[in-house]
Structure 1
Amino acid sequence: MVNDLSVREARIAFIASLAKSQEALARILDSVAEVADCSPDTAKLLRDNVRSLTSMQETIAEAVTSLAWRRRIKRRGKPAKPWLQPQLRMNVRNS
């Protein structure tokens, strides 16, 4: 029981540390935003570094919480029309 409590406390501390890291990253992005507007190369480098840090933090969070974090997948293309079965009819009853 004590072991479970210490594991939970360690996980909570780890998640709190990740949250602080995210806050620090947000402050860095705020301070660098003006420079990135002036230099496309800096903006690209910053984007790549942020992606790398985010990926590492997601991996750590997944390991600590034993949960799979959703990663957004960009899909490209034209969506298809909805498929509706022609035989399907709705019976509406007025009560």
Structure 2
Amino acid sequence: GLAMSSRNERLSKETRLKAAFIYETLKAAKIKFGTDNALSIKEWVVNEFKRRNDFELEYFDITDVETLTPIIEKTNNLKYRAFIAVYVENVRLIDNIALN
């Protein structure tokens, strides 16, 4: 759930294991994208990170793949991607996932 990069190796072993929470959250957002609107998913992600004192969410956005513009509503026949940035132990971790 966490890439092996020099940045990630700055994390403690325990935190590296906990950091899988970031990708797990992205996978859950992908599932929610099938039925929920973008705003409710964003609110859900923010609330998930509020419950985790060891993680500081910098941003979570769902964007149009072509323009990378954050969306408010889904449109048929467009592709979307979710992007996230989180600080943990003073290390900035980023990830993204295709939503459709």
- TM (normalized to structure 1)? 0.36
**Structure with bigger gyration radius:** 1
Greater helix share, structure number = 1
Structure 1 or 2: larger strand share? Answer: 2
